[in-house]
Every structure is written in C-alpha cells, then in structure tokens.
Amino acid sequence: MSELIVMMIILLPVGLYFISIGWRIWKKEQITLIHDYHYTIVAEKDKKSYTEKVGKSCILIGIGMILWVIIDFVSKASYGWICFGIFFVWGLVMIFKAQKKYNGGV
C-alpha cells in the first residue's frame, strides 16, 4: 500500500504536468515548449496543426499516467500499467508521425 501512495505522489503531479504542457502547446500554440530542434523546419502555415498534434500527444501521455494510478488504486492490481502503456505508445506514435510529417523526421 505504501508503494501505491508513493506512486500516487509522484505520478499524479507528473501526469498533470504533461496535461498542462500539452494544453499549452495545443491550445496556446506555444511551440517554444518543444525543443527547437524539433520544430526548426516546420513551415509557418503548419505550426498550428503541428502544435495541435504534439500537444494532444502530451495530453494522452498525461492521462495515461493518471489512469495508471487510479486503476492500480481501485483494482489493487497492476492493470494500470496496461492502460499507461497503451496511452504512452499512442502518444509517442502521434508525436513521431507529426515529426515525420512536419519536420521531415525524428
């Protein structure tokens, strides 16, 4: 039980941080929150859709972290790992696709 509490103390704020960063990248189009190497070649006309995709990806990863903690807390089993894995891979695939499409590669 103490492991779960430590996990909650660490992962909930990290998940909320990812959601916050994703929101700022997506809705406020703060492309500078992404490392400049990743957006140097992105055309000005594509920045809105690029930030939308990367921001949504960060939000997905954050949601996965939060669901991981909630599911593990409720179920007292490690099923949250599966949920986190799905959301994490989904988010990474979206980021890689956006990088390839708008920046010419990872």
Res 37: pLDDT: 72
Nearest 5 degrees, angle CA 101-CA 56-CA 100? 15
**Confidence tier at 40 by pLDDT (50, 70, 90):** confident
Q: Which token pair is 50? A: 């690029």
Amino acid at position 2, single letter: S
Question: Does the pLDDT at position 66 exceed 80?
Answer: yes
Q: Nearest 5°: phi and psi at 34?
A: -95, 145
SS3 for 43?
Answer: coil
Within a 10 A sphere around the Cβ of 48, how many other Cβ atoms?
Answer: 12
Least confident range from 1-5, 22-26, 96-100: namely 1-5
Map 25-74 to HEC letters: HHHCCCHHHCCHHHCCCCCHHHHHHHHHHHHHHHHHHHHHHHHHHHHHHH
Res 76: pLDDT: 75
